[in-house]
Amino acid sequence: MKVLVVLLVGTMLMAGDTLPNFLDAYSDCHAALAGDNLEEAKSALEKLEKETLGMHADHLSAPAQKAWSDGVEQLKTAIKNGRAAADLEGVRKEFESIATVAISLADAAHIHGWTTFHCGMAFDGKGASWLQKGQVANPYFGSAMLRCGTAQPHKH
């Protein structure tokens, strides 16, 4: 009986870790883009794809499950397109869709310690947002405008 309880608790912890693992992979992609590193960005997208496919959304809250189901296909497409992109610009274009889903998911799941930033200059003035920890590091401009971004209020 004790062995069964330990196995069940271990299984619950593994499944519950999928959201932090997803956000870690997302963060790796963000950091690579902010650092102007195409190879690392593509490697991070591969990791993000793995975490996306392995997400246990049934362990999320109802609002987070909805955010996940609303965005998962957009996320898969953006990851696939980003991995196929020939340059940083192509990956950055797809990252915007990835970031949109990550922001929605983090807001719905009430994730703390992450900040949403917005750069109004990204994509020829259209603007784009992203989620990150720490000091602003713009993934859309990288070293050219690393600190361009304004913190946005959380929706939760």
pLDDT at 17: 62
pLDDT at 9: 33
The rounded distance, in Å, linking the Cα atoms of 133 and 115 is 6
pLDDT digits (tens, 9 = 90+) for 81-137: 999 999 999 999 999 999 999 999 999 999 999 999 999 999 999 999 999 999 999
pLDDT digits (tens, 9 = 90+) for 7-51: 333 323 333 468 999 999 999 999 999 999 999 999 999 999 999
pLDDT at 145 over 90: yes
| Amino acid at site 133 | K
66-93: average pLDDT:
98
Q: Which domains does the chain have, with CATH numbers?
A: 17-152 (1.20.120)
pLDDT at 156: 58
Q: How many CB atoms lie within 10 A of CB 35?
A: 14
The model's pTM: 0.88
DSSP 45-74: HHHHHHHHHT--GGGS-HHHHHHHHHHHHH
